[in-house]
Amino acid sequence: MSWRPAQRRLHWWVAALLLLTLALGFLMVALPFRPLAPKFLAYQAHKSFGLVVLLLVAWRLALRLRHPRPAEDLTIPAWQHHAARLVQAVLYGLLLLVPVLGYLSAASAPAQVETALFMLIPVPHILGPDAARFAVLAWLHWALALLLLALGLGHALMALRHHAQGSGVLRRMWRG
Ligand code: HEM
C-alpha cells in the first residue's frame, strides 16, 4: 500500500508553498518602505500563501485521519521510524501553528494593514491593534517559522539519505 494520490499531491504542494511563503516573509521584511507598493504586495502575497498553506494542511490532516499510513519500510531501523514519526507530528503542529500565529500577529499589528486573500477576499482581523501583544506574537511566528524550516530540511535530508540507501520511502511519496 502507498500514499493516496491526493495525499502525495498535497505533500508536495505544501512543501513548495511553505518555501515560497518563507522566502516572501524574509523579502517583505527586508524591503524598504519607499516605494511602498512592492513591500505591501509582498506582505499580501506572504499572508495569502500562508493562509493557503493552513487550509491545505487542514485538508492533509483530515485525509491522514481517515486513511492509515502505508506499512513501514522494514529495512529502516525501528528507532528511526519512531524519530521520523515524532518529527512528522511536530511538523504538522508547526504547519498549523505558524500561519495561525502569523494571522494573529497581522491582526494585532499597530499599523493595521488589511489582509485580503490574493487582494480579492477580505479576511477580517478578529483582534484589535496592541503593540505588546503584536511583539510577542510576531516573535513567536518568526521563531517557530525558523524551527519549521530547520525540521523540514532535516526531514527532507533524511528522506534523501534513505533513498540513497535503497529504501522506497521517497519514491512512494513521489510516484506512489
Ligand atoms: C506557513 C506559513 C507561514 C510561514 C512559514 C511564515 C513565515 C514568516 C517569517 C519567516 C517571517 C519573518 C521574517 C523576518 O522577520 O525576517 C514572517 C513575518 C510575518 N508574517 Fe508570516 N509566515 C506564514 C504565514 C503567515 C500568515 C498566514 C500571516 C497572516 C495572515 C502572516 C503574517 C506575517 C506578518 C504580519 C509578518 C511580519 C511580522 C513583523 O512585522 O515583524 N504569516 N512570516
At 51, is the pLDDT very low, low, confident or very high (cuts 50, 70, 90)? very high
All structural domains of the chain, each given as residue ranges with its CATH number in brackets, are 5-69+77-174 (1.20.950)
Nearest protein CA to atom 29 of ligand 1, as residue:
103
Name the E strands within 24-176. Answer: 115-117, 121-123
**Pocket perturbation via mutation, ligand 1, pick of 20, 46, 113 by most ligand atoms within 8 A of CB:** 46
pLDDT exceeds 80 at position 10: yes
Strand blocks (E) in the chain: 115-117, 121-123
Mean pLDDT across the stretch 53-77? 95
B/e letters for 46-79, b = 16+ CB within 10 Å, e = fewer, are bbbbbbbbbebbeebeeebeeeeebeeeeeeeee
In this structure, the residues whose C-beta lies within 6 A of any atom of ligand 1 are 18, 21-22, 25-26, 29, 46-47, 50-51, 53, 98-99, 102-103, 105-106, 115, 138, 141-142, 145, 148
Question: From ligand 1's centre to the CA of 62, what distance in Å?
Answer: 25
Q: Quick one: pLDDT at residue 176?
A: 80
Q: For residue 40, is pLDDT > 80?
A: yes
Q: Share the mean pLDDT of the chain.
A: 96
C-alpha–C-alpha distance, residues 110 and 131, integer Å? 6
**Residue that the C-alpha cell 486513511 belongs to:** 67
Q: What is the pTM of this model?
A: 0.96
Positive or negative torsion for Cα 46, 49, 51, 54: negative
